[in-house]
Amino acid sequence: MTSVVTFSHVTKSYPLYHHITGGFKNLLFNLPKALKEMKSAKFTALEDISFDIKKGECVAFIGRNGAGKSTTLGLIAQVLKPNQGTVEVNGRVSPLLELGGGFHPDLTGVENIELNGVLLGLTRKEVKEKMNQIIDFSELGDFINHPIRTYSSGMLTRLGFSVIAHLDPVILLIDEVLSVGDGKFQQKCYQKMQEFKDRGVTMILVSHNIYDIQRICSRVIWIENHRIKMDAPAEEVLTEYKKHYCL
Amino acid sequence: MKDIIIQLTQKELRVRYKHLSLGYLWSIANPLAYALLYFMIFKIVMKVKIENFPIFLISALFPWQWFANSVGVGPMTFLGNAPLIKKVNFPRYLLSFVAVVQDMLHFLASLPIIVLFLFIFDKSPTLDWILGIPLLCLIQLMLTYGFNLFISTINLFFRDLERLIQIGMTFLFYSTPVVFDINMVPKEYQQLIVLNPVAPLIISWRDLFLNGFINWQYIGISMVWASIVLVLGQLVYNKLSWRFAEIL
């Protein structure tokens, strides 16, 4: 089996940018101090993370809020870059990050689908061909022609998932977003994900819903305090996790 | 890549005109309104001695407006597209490029107005336009894209830049021969005009539209400026683009 995602000794820290965005005035009047702070004031989101995800695997990241899960997905989606270590990704990534779907509040659902599809690497023609399928799957009805600022968060999720589900994903990234969809739509999503699993699509998700993870994922990586606490088959990790937090 | 550019341009146009009932007319109405304003101040009130002042004015004002609009939105180019940048990995410089291309389209849409004014003042387009317009468009595209890329990148890290740009553009406007002619500048200062990155370009546009010829000397200088600004913008972008998603 070939690896599609490889992290080796990845460290990601964010400078605390407010020292700079405080503006020129602050920067100029406290130059030495400001420079020192810029170098030292950091928030470390991930520390020395190494793992390897093979083609067709379905992996979930669990951990408390702020543990570094979303940063991990950001790194896989290659919108973020590590400070140390390397991230290797082979294959097109279809990310559904941060309440997916919407790119511009004034664009309609259809327009957002077009933009999303093209940015994820499809041609305009391909997106057009799939448009009807996507709209049908989303069950958004007339809303698809309305600006997405009128959407509820559940509707945004429908839009987002519908798009990435129909773009022949190779690596699918899903960041918590499914939890805001209603029960019926969630079912539909998990059905789709089961299909993907059978087709050999690699899936990586962040979720707080242990039961969903159990159904879909064969492997779970538990991140705590910015490090990997446990990386093992789903059952094992989830049992430990439940014990740890008395769930 | 081609598809991304088309799609992003469409997006920008849609977003810009979504709430406007007169839509596309604004791309012509806006520069004309400024032309009218400057005409009243400089011709009627201050009685500048330039013949055919309306066509003299718009032959430089329209290209200037392209430049000013594209650079003016610079601070918002990346900032305003935060959701996009945070969600997908694609070449972000395309956002800058598209912002500039969009204003270029508006500029091209306003060319008939220039032709109309030429006819009103008993002049007409010349054959030099066929080479001149694409050439100057290309140079202005490079220059403006370079500026936009530089500004939009830096503004993510120093938000104060937005304010500086507003002041800077006013200075730049009055040190560029738009409402006046380069020959009205005292001889000893005329040489200094080449230090203004936009002036040689605007002079070239006016010579093309108003006087009907290609001013190779100024085109050469504006080409040098365009290259410098483009390289500078691209360097700054290359150095900082990996941090965009985390700072937004």
pLDDT in tens, B142-179: 999 999 999 999 999 888 898 999 999 999 999 999 99
Contact A98 B11 (CB under 8 A): no
> What is the pLDDT at residue A21?
56
Q: Return the number of other C-beta atoms located less than 10 Å from residue B76's C-beta.
A: 14
Would you call B3 an interface residue with chain A, using a CB distance cutoff of 8 Å? yes
B186 pLDDT higher than 70:
yes
Min mean pLDDT across A17-31, B10-24, B74-88 is at A17-31
Residue of A nearest to B88 (CA): A79
Token pair for B135: 């050439």
Would you call A14 an interface residue with chain B, using a CB distance cutoff of 8 Å? yes
B201-222 core/surface letters (b: 16 or more CB in 10 A; e: else): bbbbbbbbbbebebbeebbebb
DSSP string, A127-174: HHHHHHHHHHHHT-GGGGGSBGGG--HHHHHHHHHHHHHTS--SEEEE
Residues A94 and A167 sit within 8 Å (Cβ to Cβ): yes
Residue of B nearest to A174 (CA): B87
Would you call A17 an interface residue with chain B, using a CB distance cutoff of 8 Å? yes
- pLDDT category at B208 given cuts 50, 70, 90 is very high
Q: How far apart (Å, rounded) are the C-alpha atoms in residues A40 and A31?
A: 14
Contact B87 A100 (CB under 8 A): yes
Burial of A8 (0-12, 13-18, 19+ CB in 10 A): middle
Domain ranges across chain B: 2-247
Burial of A242 (0-12, 13-18, 19+ CB in 10 A): exposed
> Which chain A residues are closer than 8 Å to B87 by Cβ?
77, 79, 95, 97-98, 100, 103
Please count the helices (runs of H) and the strands (runs of E) in chain B.
13, 0
Of B4, B19, B243, nearest to A119 by CB-CB distance is B4
3-state secondary structure of A43: strand
Picking from A142, A187, A144, A146, the residue whose alpha carbon sits closest to that of residue A163 is: A144
**Chain segment B43-79, per-residue pLDDT in tens:** 999 998 898 999 999 999 999 999 999 999 999 999 9
Residues 6+ apart with CB under 8 A from B180: B42, B48, B50
Q: How far apart (Å, rounded) are the C-alpha atoms in residues B200 and A101?
A: 45
Sequential pLDDT tens for chain A (247 residues): 789 999 999 999 888 765 455 566 666 776 777 666 666 678 888 999 999 999 999 999 999 888 888 899 999 988 899 999 999 999 888 888 766 556 788 889 999 999 888 888 889 999 999 999 999 998 999 999 999 889 888 888 888 888 888 888 889 998 877 777 788 888 888 888 889 989 999 999 898 888 888 888 999 999 998 999 999 998 999 999 988 887 6
Q: How far apart (Å, rounded) are the C-alpha atoms in residues B105 and B66?
A: 9
For B165: left if phi > 0, alpha if psi spans -120 to 50, otherwise beta; the answer is alpha
Residues 94-133 of B with CB under 8 A from A: none
- pLDDT category at B21 given cuts 50, 70, 90 is low
DSSP string, A87-120: EEE-S-EEEE-SSTT-S-TTSBHHHHHHHHHHHT
Mind telling me how many Å the CA of A185 is from chain B's nearest CA?
A: 22
> Which chain A residues are closer than 8 Å to B80 by Cβ?
none
3-state secondary structure of B177: coil
Residue of A nearest to B91 (CA): A119
- For helices B53-72 and B161-174, give the axis angle rounded to 10 degrees: 160
Contact B88 A95 (CB under 8 A): yes
Contact A107 B8 (CB under 8 A): no
Residues B92 and B241 sit within 8 Å (Cβ to Cβ): yes
**Residue B239: DSSP 8-state:** H
Picking from B28, B50, B27, the residue whose alpha carbon sits closest to that of residue B39 is: B50
Residues A210 and A237 sit within 8 Å (Cβ to Cβ): no
> What is the pLDDT at residue A185?
86
3-state secondary structure of A227: strand
* % of chain B surpassing 70 pLDDT: 97
Min mean pLDDT across A168-177, B22-31, B108-117, B233-242 is at B22-31
> Which chain B residues are closer than 8 Å to A86 by Cβ?
none
Choose between B132 and A169: higher pLDDT: B132
Which amino acid appears at position A140 of this protein?
L
Mind telling me how many Å the CA of B28 is from chain A's nearest CA?
A: 23
Choose between A131 and B247: higher pLDDT: A131
**Average pLDDT of the residues of chain B:** 92
> What is the pLDDT at residue A37?
66
Picking from A195, A202, A156, the residue whose alpha carbon sits closest to that of residue A179 is: A156
Would you call A29 an interface residue with chain B, using a CB distance cutoff of 8 Å? no
Of the residues A75, A89, A115, the best mutation for testing chain B's interface (the one with the most B CB atoms within 10 Å of its CB) is A115
End-to-end CA distance of chain B: 24
Q: How far apart (Å, rounded) are the C-alpha atoms in residues B234 and B145?
A: 9
Q: Give Cα A59 distance to the centre of its chain.
A: 12
Choose between B21 and B248: higher pLDDT: B248
Residues 6+ apart with CB under 8 A from A157: A99, A100, A101, A177, A178, A180, A181, A185
> What is the pLDDT at residue B118?
95
Which amino acid appears at position A34 of this protein?
A
Q: Is the C-alpha dihedral spanning A136, A138, A140, A146 positive or negative?
A: negative
How many angstroms separate the Cα of A246 from the Cα of each of A198, A207, A239, A243?
A: 34, 18, 10, 5
Would you call A126 an interface residue with chain B, using a CB distance cutoff of 8 Å? no
